[in-house]
Amino acid sequence: DAGVIQSPRHEVTEMGQEVTLRCKPISGHDYLFWYRQTMMRGLELLIYFNNNVPIDDSGMPEDRFSAKMPNASFSTLKIQPSEPRDSAVYFCASSRASGSYTGELFFGEGSRLTVL
């Protein structure tokens, strides 16, 4: 079975440019998460969706970040305009709930973003 697929794997851009990260979750999973990982702060939840609906976006740093999930098989995380402090590895993860949420997170390989 295909796992969570993210693209691009690496992105180098200049400050002020728009960045779009993409994610295809595992088929049948009803939760999708976007995380950011840095050496200083570890893994931080940015936003998560349940059945394509954004449930908690309190982790989104500021208005420059936005995320969408137009259908069950695709999600995007957009940064506009990008800043050097956005440099990090962005992970998408999906999960399948069973009753109360205790689902295992299945992570993609991550998108390493460098903003110059």
Partner 1 sequence: KNQVEQSPQSLIILEGKNCTLQCNYTVSPFSNLRWYKQDTGRGPVSLTIMTFSENTKSNGRYTATLDADTKQSSLHITASQLSDSASYICVVSAGSSASKIIFGSGTRLSIRP
In the complex, least distance from residue 110 CB atom to partner 1, rounded to whole angstroms = 6
Helix (H, G, I), strand (E, B) or coil at 16: coil
8 vs 22: CA distance, rounded Å: 7
CB of 105 to partner 1, least distance (A): 7
Q: Which stretches of the chain bind partner 1, using CB under 8 A?
A: 4, 31, 33, 42-43, 45, 48, 50, 55-56, 58, 91, 93, 95, 97, 100-105, 107-110
Q: Which is nearer to partner 1, 55 or 116 (CB)?
A: 55
Residue with Cβ nearer partner 1 (71 or 102): 102
In the chain, count H helices and then E strands.
0, 11
Cβ closest to partner 1, residue 14 vs residue 56: 56
Burial group, residue 108, by CB count within 10 angstroms (0-12, 13-18, 19+): buried
